[in-house]
A and B are shown apart, each in its own frame.
Chain A
Amino acid sequence: MRWTGTISHELLCARRERLPQFLLLVFVSMIAASAFIGSSARATVSNVYQQARNQGLTTAANPFDGLSPLYYARNMVIYIVLIGALLAIVVGVRSTLRDRQARTTDLMLSRDVRPAFYLGSKLAGLALFMLILLAVSTLISIGCISAVAGQFLTPGESARIVGLYALAWLFLLPFVALGMLAGLYAATATSALLIPVVIWSLVVFVLPLLGTAAHPVSLLNPVAGPTAAQTGFFALSSAVTGPLSLAEQFKHVSSLILADQQATGTISSGLAIILVFAVVGCAAVALTTRGRIRSTLRD
């Protein structure tokens, strides 16, 4: 009963918060728009190819011939990394910060409740919130891709979209946990929001550069980035930073799930890394002490 009480309270609060809702609106809008952006790009590339062929400039085959409708889902991966992760952080921060600002944890912990149980329930509530959000996004994605492709997706293709969003849920869990931890440990409300956003920017933009020399802005492009050199500086740096580049692991596994012809390798290693991040994040939240939960903010 206590579990369900805390979970439903978290869902209610997440639903009531206006600003995460604003971010949610941006996320869902971009998920819906991404299929149409992909469609526009693909149509143009096909026309460019046809033009080049008509002018006798190429004899190569059209690189987009026989491409699966799942191609249109590539941009969604980027929006999950950018907007979804920020939304997860904001939702997580607000959840624990709300308690500290309203001083409700004192009252809550005066009852016979273990901190791990309480925080675990809050995390479960937020995880459920993200699951509902991603389930809605899955339906929107399938609908938009079907509309753009002019045909219903096959059960296999739909299953891949479902797989992508299931992976996205797992990928977003560490960010929810990170947000919750920042809300619990930060001294001020500003630093509670700032610290996880800086960590996110490090993970998304800095770590991939160290491993592959990829430029930060190129990471916003859904096309697979450069692979790390097998010898020398980048072999070493990619071995160290590769497993920590959570966003790159997510992009790699996603491209395999979406059957991207340019993606190579297996799902298992990337999936294992994402899973480890999720487990570590959730464990860190659950291990927070009673004193920390009750700590006061400086602003």
Chain B
Amino acid sequence: MTDLLILSQKEITDLRRTKFLVVLFAFLAAVVVLSVVVASADFRIKISDYNQYVTALKAAGSTVAAPPPQLFPLQMLRGGIEYLEIVGSLFAVVLGYSLVAKEKGRGTLHLLFSRPVHRFAFAGGKILAIAAVWTVMVAGLFIVITATLLVVGNAPLQGTDYARLGIAALHTAEYLIMWSLLAMALAALTRGPSTGLILALVLWLVVVLIIPQIGDTMDPDNQIPGGLFASLQIDKSHEQAVMSHFSGYETTRDLVEQTSVTKQYERSTFAYLGIKNVYNQQPLSFIWAGTFNNTLWLLFGLAVSVTSALFASTKKTLLRKAI
């Protein structure tokens, strides 16, 4: 236990001394803030368009007008969450890979394992360090997000909104820790310095981009700009009635998407933040009932990554694969 804590502390000190963490945090914070700024500008344009529309209607003598666009502050985080899902996981891969690659590159593995350390102390220390680093980073990012919503988005946040942000932050930390640990396991299992990184990047590409892209492309409503049903002037209730005849296809599409842990993360965070309309302004118990399977799959992914990193980074494996 002492070995584990010492190794973990050493890892955190190492990471604090490099510029990588600062760059990583600054970049993620910048893109997330940028996405809120853009969403806020987009909403202002919608309000302005609406006001012009109402003025034109009044000038024409009409009193019937569509309801004005409503601001749901947490919905402005859609772009930010998608950045964390894509770019954040990419950084997580690099962070996880670098923890093992640096030991291999510097040749410190032989020295480290010449000491009587416990079989899992090396891996455990790194896992603990990754978990601590991502927890702190994600907490920092969500503080930045909240501040941006309050200041730039001029959004009034309620108590429940903070709880929703907290739950989304927890999911995000789980997701990013998982990617770092998967990359760490791959770096431990490969001999070449960049082989592990390229393998991790291919895995990232398939899970984060390709599988969701296939699922997205299979969605009938994504075939036409603005949506198929909107172009056919079919409302939501009728859309569901029509789609009920295609349950087999929809189930297959859903299964394709569910094989990507990125989609599990996206579905649960989108639900808690109200980005998915069906969960917007709903109580947390309702959202949990609808998305607990996504959260559990995400936890399963995390468990798999912890186990892989733990067993891949043992003395035997690492020294066999050392340069």
Given the complex of chains A and B, what is the CA–CA distance between A23 and B205 in angstroms?
10
Asked whether, in the complex, the Cβ of A45 is within 8 Å of the Cβ of B242, the reply is no
Given the complex of chains A and B, what is the CA–CA distance between A19 and B199 in angstroms?
7
- Stretch of B114-122, B130-138, B174-182, B216-224 with 4 or more beta carbons under 8 angstroms from chain A: B216-224
Given the complex of chains A and B, what is the CA–CA distance between A38 and B219 in angstroms?
11
Which residues 72-101 in A have Cβ within 8 Å of B in the complex? 75, 78-79, 82-83, 86, 90, 93-94, 97
Given the complex of chains A and B, what is the CA–CA distance between A191 and B7 in angstroms?
24
- Report the minimal beta-carbon distance from B216 to chain A, rounded to whole angstroms: 5
Instruction: Report which of A23, A78, A82 forms a contact with B198, defined as CB distance below 8 A.
Output: A23
Given the complex of chains A and B, what is the CA–CA distance between A47 and B244 in angstroms?
12
A4 interface residue (CB < 8 Å to B): no
Interface string of A190-230 (1 = CB under 8 A from B): 10111001100100011001100101110011111000010
Interface string of A151-175 (1 = CB under 8 A from B): 0000000000000000000000000
Asked whether, in the complex, the Cβ of A83 is within 8 Å of the Cβ of B205, the reply is yes
A37 interface residue (CB < 8 Å to B): yes
Tell me which of A38, A97, A233 has the highest count of chain B C-beta atoms within 10 A of its own C-beta.
A233
Instruction: Please name the residue on chain A nearest to B79 by beta carbon.
Output: A215
Given the complex of chains A and B, what is the CA–CA distance between A205 and B208 in angstroms?
13
Asked whether, in the complex, the Cβ of B214 is within 8 Å of the Cβ of A37, the reply is yes
Asked whether, in the complex, the Cβ of B233 is within 8 Å of the Cβ of A220, the reply is no
Count: A-B pairs, CB below 8 Å? 168
B210 interface residue (CB < 8 Å to A): yes
Which residues 171-200 in B have Cβ within 8 Å of A in the complex? 193-195, 197-199
Residues of B within 8 A of A201 (CB): 86-87, 90
Asked whether, in the complex, the Cβ of A223 is within 8 Å of the Cβ of B201, the reply is no
- Stretch of A49-57, A108-116, A122-130, A286-294 with 4 or more beta carbons under 8 angstroms from chain B: A49-57
Asked whether, in the complex, the Cβ of B217 is within 8 Å of the Cβ of A41, the reply is yes
Asked whether, in the complex, the Cβ of A82 is within 8 Å of the Cβ of B233, the reply is no
Residues of A within 8 A of B222 (CB): 221, 223
Instruction: Please name the residue on chain B nearest to A19 by beta carbon.
Output: B198
Residues of A within 8 A of B101 (CB): 190, 299
Residues of A within 8 A of B86 (CB): 201, 205, 216-217
Given the complex of chains A and B, what is the CA–CA distance between A190 and B209 in angstroms?
22
11 new A-B contacts at CB < 8 Å, known A26-B206, A190-B193: A19-B202, A22-B198, A41-B219, A45-B220, A45-B223, A48-B243, A193-B201, A205-B83, A210-B34, A213-B41, A221-B216
Contact surface of A with B, Cβ cutoff 8 Å: 19-20, 22-23, 26, 30, 37-38, 40-42, 44-45, 47-49, 51-52, 55, 57-58, 60, 63-64, 75, 78-79, 82-83, 86, 90, 93-94, 97, 188-190, 192-194, 197-198, 201, 205-206, 209-210, 213, 215-217, 220-224, 229, 232-234, 262, 299
